Amino acid sequence: MAGGVVLITGAGQRLGAATARRLMDAGFFVMVHVRTSLEAAEELLNEAEQRNGRNCGCIVQADLTDDEALASMLDEVKKHRRVQADGLFGIVHNASFYSQSSFEETSLEAYRKLNRLHMEAPYFLTQQLLPELRQGKGSVIAIVDTSWGRAWSGLAHYTSSKAGLRQLMLNLAGELPDVPVNCVAPGAIMAADWEAEHFTKVLEKVPLGRSGKAEDIAAAVHHLLTTPSLSGQVLHVDGGWSLNEG
């Protein structure tokens, strides 16, 4: 249903913003969640509105690791007039925090925070917004990664919380009779500031020999959202990297 409402977390910049842009241009009303990227999100919405000549979305702001902020954002989503009228056509759990630190040096506090961001917030938002998803005949998509079953040095905190998110989504896909649930697993798409050198080495292992584009992730999300028979899938958008990753 073009015109439905889609909530995307962490959508102020990078892959989340590309996904928001694609969905807004395809006719959806996107609730662009940000933690800090308010200006970028405003620009994203303004540009979409100019391109499409309509109100394409709104911004919701919260630190998803803060229980109060999360609850207040949930309330805002539920009370939004578009959500009350149409329900939700999708939730995209995209927000993430990717940083390298050795297992010995990663504090329990940092680990808990990542679990809250990658697992607890998606769990809570999906659970609390099920009535709206049902009303809007919507689906849920989580953006995971390709680390499943692999060891990435200095990233145990990140890969394990993403594995939890992936498993949460697959379990829900099997459990919920009326809400499709899927994952998109990006490969090497957009390097973080700290990993430029590592990123170049990774690309040597990608069969297609190049990084993907943010728009590829946006296209994968769009495809999953608009193909209601797809559920329980993990769509790898990685140029074949998973085949060669040791």
What is the size of the binding site for ligand NAP (CB under 6 A)?
A: 25
* Closest distance of CB 134 from ligand NAP, Å: 25
* Closest distance of CB 177 from ligand NAP, Å: 27
Does position 164 interact with ligand NAP (CB under 6 A)? The reply is no
For 140, the enclosing helix (H) or strand (E) is strand 139-143
As a whole number of angstroms, the distance between CA 197 and CA 208 comes to: 19
The torsion region of residue 232 among left (phi > 0), alpha (psi -120 to 50) and beta comes to left
* Closest distance of CB 126 from ligand NAP, Å: 15
* Binding residues for ligand NAP restricted to 42-61, rule: CB under 6 A: none
* Closest distance of CB 53 from ligand NAP, Å: 27
5-8 sheet: strands from edge to edge: 57-61, 29-34, 5-8, 90-93, 139-143, 181-186, 234-237
Q: Which residue is nearest to ligand NAP (CB)?
A: 10
As a whole number of angstroms, the distance between CA 61 and CA 245 comes to: 36
Q: Are 51 and 57 in contact (CB under 8 A)?
A: no
Does position 16 interact with ligand NAP (CB under 6 A)? The reply is yes
Does position 239 interact with ligand NAP (CB under 6 A)? The reply is no
* Closest distance of CB 128 from ligand NAP, Å: 16
The distance from CA 176 to its chain's CA centroid, rounded to whole angstroms, is 20
| Cα separations in angstroms, 72 against 68, 159, 211 | 6, 28, 37
* Closest distance of CB 169 from ligand NAP, Å: 12
Write the interaction track for ligand NAP spanning residues 171-210; mark x where CB under 6 A is met and - where it is not: ---------------x-xxx--------------------
The SS3 of residue 95 is coil
Q: Are 66 and 39 in contact (CB under 8 A)?
A: no
Is the CB of 87 or the CB of 166 nearer to ligand NAP? 166
Per CB under 6 A, residues contacting ligand NAP are 10, 12-16, 34-37, 63-65, 94-98, 117, 143, 145, 186, 188-190
